[in-house]
Amino acid sequence: MKLSARSGHARLRGRSGVRSAALLFTACALTAVSACSSGETKADPPKTSSPTPSSTPSTKPLDPTETAKKDAIATYLSHWKEAEKRYADKTGKAGDLEKYAAAAALAQVETDSEDMRKKNAVILGTVTVNNPTATSADINRKIPNVVISSCLDVSRWTVTDIDTQKPATMPKDRLVRYVIKATVEKWPEGWRVIRDEPQGKKC
């Protein structure tokens, strides 16, 4: 695999809730009380309880910067899912990459996937983006942006011959988990990854 310096996508040469169920059970005990007078049994008058006013949880306004970070990270993860589809397609048209990437990031994926097709190869498997963290966010500029650092794992991404479906032999010392820095901007159409730059460091 060869990492591209232009946009930072992993380029390959030879060519990669639980929804916690909360069950709440409440047990109620009823107690009957009786009294005797003149041979007659009389029940105590029912006790009334004042209704407990319903408490409305206070809704804390979302911090715009934190919201931007979450949206940018979600866009970055979607970007890689769509990039997987593009690299795996021998026509180079699969996926909705344009919804999540633009500028250099989009151009790099398109160029790399085209280079693979010229070699009669595709890249199959999955890319894992580990621990994506927004290291900075500037939402007050004309085009808001967020910078994300993560550990990209391409160990399960395999260059495969289109005809034989056999994986290509890759160098044993290739870097398969490395730090990558992405820049995500908020365009009129939504958040877009514009740069994705490997940092040349193992993670």
How buried is residue 147: exposed, middle or buried, by Cβ count under 10 Å (0-12/13-18/19+)? middle
Q: Is pLDDT at 130 greater than 50 in this prediction? A: yes
Cβ neighbours for 19, distance < 8 A, ≥ 6 positions apart: none
| Residue from 140, 145, 17, 150 nearest 69 by CA | 145
Contact 142, 33 (CB under 8 A): no
Which pLDDT belongs to residue 8?
Answer: 38
Span 61-72, average pLDDT: 92
187 vs 95: CA distance, rounded Å:
20
Q: Please give the mean pLDDT across all residues of the chain.
A: 78
Question: In the structure, what pLDDT confidence band is assigned to residue 12 with cuts at 50, 70 and 90?
Answer: very low
Nearest 5°: phi and psi at 79?
-55, -45
One-letter amino acid of 158: T
Question: In the structure, what pLDDT confidence band is assigned to residue 4 with cuts at 50, 70 and 90?
Answer: very low
Contact 68, 144 (CB under 8 A): yes
Which pLDDT belongs to residue 39?
Answer: 41
Span 78-100, average pLDDT: 95
Comparing 121 with 25, the larger pLDDT belongs to: 121
pLDDT digits (tens, 9 = 90+) for 16-52: 332 222 222 222 222 222 333 334 444 455 454 444 5
- Residue 77 belongs to a domain: yes
- Residue 150 belongs to a domain: yes
Comparing 113 with 27, the larger pLDDT belongs to: 113
CATH number at residue 127: 3.10.450.240
pLDDT digits (tens, 9 = 90+) for 160-194: 999 999 998 888 888 999 999 999 999 999 999 99
| Residue from 42, 46, 26 nearest 34 by CA | 42
Q: Which residue's structure tokens are 């695999």?
A: 1
Comparing 144 with 37, the larger pLDDT belongs to: 144
Q: Which range of residues forms the domain containing residue 113?
A: 64-202
Which pLDDT belongs to residue 22?
Answer: 25
- pTM of full prediction above 0.75: no
Which pLDDT belongs to residue 189?
Answer: 95
Contact 50, 79 (CB under 8 A): no
Count of domains observed in the chain = 1
Residues belonging to the chain: 203
Which pLDDT belongs to residue 172?
Answer: 84
- Residue 41 belongs to a domain: no
Rg of the chain (C-alpha set): 29
